[in-house]
């Protein structure tokens, strides 16, 4: 491998600006949701009953280059990260909500045996959305290059600079997270990835020993994250960066989305409004998706019409699983459904878990 480092004319003796990372010579054609090397799992897609393959958890993800077919993936000297050029965009799901576009840049220190430790995390930035107008007047695509300028971010000699996203998990539209299209297909390059909910913060070890089907470390051959960093050394850097790669001031707070069901996070249960059929005996099965990642869901589910409770039952559901809960309507409630006719009877489905806000959706009951 031929290592190339771009040097600008030094501003003064002992100062230089150096660039390293991807040469950005190919478009971003690969993304974080579909093209990372995890075994993945198969599960029932929420609200559809269709079994699909989820490549990995839709959680916090770090990407960094360990080998480049052209160029060097590591910082040639200790210094301050002045700017980072990143190629690509966030891919929206057809018919779904807008993708989460927020990401961070991080400096990493290599670990013996593979992987790295997070040293410093930048302030939050945003990727353009693929196919949408950008602030510069273009349209976001795999060829779009944006430049970001982190504040007081140091990197040590031999360290990496990574792309760190927050997953953007949505059980129906982004089950493996938002497809961040920031990866190029390059023969001879190798990109590392690490996935862990709230596990890519300052001080966290992104260990190559942590390998599972849906998270942890993975080595991704013939791929590179399309990221190129420029650092300042000497008088082109804040002094502490040159002294040892540490950040002299308190880094900006890292904003990660809490896990589903946790304070400040999304609901622990997701209910998709849809029609459900009531049998002749008055029973009905309603679907709910447990979006919690580490603790099973459990509580009560109830169907109401106005102030009248039509049916209720307790439930338990495994993590990241769609559960079908059987409810038995009272004779009076079943009669209301039959008399509603073809349009069906709109009812409110309420899912309550201890310590969480209730989740509600409108469910239309139809006679079988």
CA distance 123 to 95: 30
User: What does the pLDDT read at residue 351?
Assistant: 92
Span 12-21, average pLDDT:
76
Question: Which residue is associated with the tokens 């040293």?
Answer: 119
CA proximity to 132, closest of 103, 95, 98, 84: 98
pLDDT digits (tens, 9 = 90+) for 263-310: 667 788 888 777 888 898 999 998 888 888 878 888 999 999 888 899
Q: Is it the case that residue 10 has pLDDT exceeding 50?
A: no
- The closest of 278, 319, 65 to 182, measured between CA atoms, is 65
Task: Report the SS3 class of residue 240.
Answer: helix
Structure confidence at residue 294 (pLDDT): 78
Q: Check residue 237 and give its pLDDT.
A: 80
Give the residue among 337, 30, 49, 343 at the shortest CA–CA distance from 172: 49
Contact present, 123 and 102 (Cβ < 8 Å): no
Across the range 355-360, mean pLDDT stands at 85
pLDDT for res 14:
55
Are the C-beta atoms of residues 127 and 103 closer than 8 Å to each other?
yes
- Residue 66 in this model has a pLDDT that exceeds 90: yes
Q: What are phi and psi of 334, to 5 degrees?
A: -65, -35
Question: CA-CA distance, 67 to 218, in Å (whole number)?
Answer: 14
Domains along the chain with CATH numbers: 6-244 (no CATH), 269-367 (2.60.40.2950)
Cα 160 to Cα 118, 120, 245, 272, distances in angstroms: 10, 11, 12, 42
Give the CA distances from residue 332 to residues 286, 304, 328, 329, in Å, rounded to whole numbers and listed in that order: 19, 12, 11, 8
pLDDT in tens, 249-259: 444 555 556 67
Please give the DSSP secondary-structure letter assigned to residue 260.
Answer: T
Query: 154, 75 in Cβ contact below 8 A?
Result: no
Confidence of residue 134 (pLDDT cuts 50, 70, 90): confident
Among 43-47, 162-166, 173-177, 344-348, the minimum mean pLDDT is found in 43-47
Give the dihedral of Cα atoms 103, 109, 111, 117; nearest 10 deg.
Answer: -40
Q: To the nearest 5 percent, what fractions of the chain are helix, strand and coil?
A: 5, 45, 50
CA-nearest of 102, 21, 110 to 61 is: 102
Q: How many CA atoms lie within 13 A of 227 on its CB side?
A: 34
Q: Residue 12 — pLDDT band, cuts 50, 70, 90?
A: very low
| Predicted pLDDT of residue 273 | 75
pLDDT tens-digit readout, 25-38: 999 999 999 999 99
Label residue 216 exposed, middle or buried (CB < 10 Å: 0-12, 13-18, 19+): buried
Q: Which two tokens stand for residue 273?
A: 């409004």
Cα torsion 330, 335, 340, 346 to 10°: value is 0
Percent of the chain with pLDDT over 90: 52
Say how many C-beta atoms besides its own lie within 10 A of residue 149's C-beta.
Answer: 14
How far CA 318 is from CA of 78, 167, 259, 288, 345, in Å, comes to 47, 21, 15, 11, 30
User: Residue 244: phi, psi to the nearest 5?
Assistant: 180, 10
Rounded to an integer, the average pLDDT of 37-51 is: 72
DSSP at 254: P
Residue 311 contacts residue 349 (beta carbons within 8 Å): no
For residues 58 and 168, the answer to whether their CB atoms sit within 8 Å is yes
């Amino acid at each position: 491998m031929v290592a190339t480092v771009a040097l600008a004319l030094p501003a003064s003796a002992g100062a230089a600006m150096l660039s390293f990372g991807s040469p950005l010579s190919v478009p971003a054609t690969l993304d974080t949701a579909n093209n990372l090397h995890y075994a993945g799992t198969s599960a029932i897609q929420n609200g559809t009953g269709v079994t699909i393959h989820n490549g990995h958890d839709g959680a916090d993800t770090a990407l960094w280059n360990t080998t480049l077919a052209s160029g060097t993936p590591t910082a040639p000297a200790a210094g301050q990260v002045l700017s980072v050029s990143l190629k690509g965009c966030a891919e929206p799901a057809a018919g779904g909500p807008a993708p989460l576009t927020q990401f961070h840049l991080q400096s990493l220190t290599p670990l013996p045996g593979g992987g790295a430790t997070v040293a410093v995390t930048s302030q939050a930035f945003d990727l353009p959305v693929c196919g949408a107008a950008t602030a510069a007047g273009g349209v976001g695509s795999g060829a779009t290059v944006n430049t970001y300028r982190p504040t007081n971010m140091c990197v040590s000699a031999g360290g990496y600079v990574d792309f760190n996203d927050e997953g953007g998990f949505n059980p129906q539209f982004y089950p493996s997270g938002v497809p961040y299209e920031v990866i190029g297909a390059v023969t001879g390059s190798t990109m590392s990835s690490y996935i862990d909910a709230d596990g890519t913060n300052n001080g966290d070890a992104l260990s190559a020993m942590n390998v599972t089907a849906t998270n942890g470390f993975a080595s991704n051959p013939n791929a590179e994250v399309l990221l190129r960093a420029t650092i300042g050394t000497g008088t082109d850097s804040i002094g502490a960066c040159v002294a040892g790669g540490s950040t002299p001031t308190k880094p900006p707070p890292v904003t990660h989305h809490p896990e589903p069901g946790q304070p400040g996070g999304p609901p622990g249960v997701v209910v998709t409004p849809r029609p459900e059929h009531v049998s002749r005996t008055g029973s009905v099965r309603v679907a709910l998706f447990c979006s919690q990642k580490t603790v099973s869901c459990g509580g009560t589910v109830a169907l109401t019409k106005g102030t009248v409770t039509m049916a209720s039952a307790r439930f338990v559901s495994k993590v990241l699983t769609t559960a079908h809960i059987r409810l038995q309507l009272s004779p009076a409630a079943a009669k209301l459904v039959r008399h509603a006719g073809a349009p069906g009877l709109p009812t409110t489905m309420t899912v309550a878990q201890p310590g969480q806000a209730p989740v509600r959706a409108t469910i239309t009951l139809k006679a079988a």
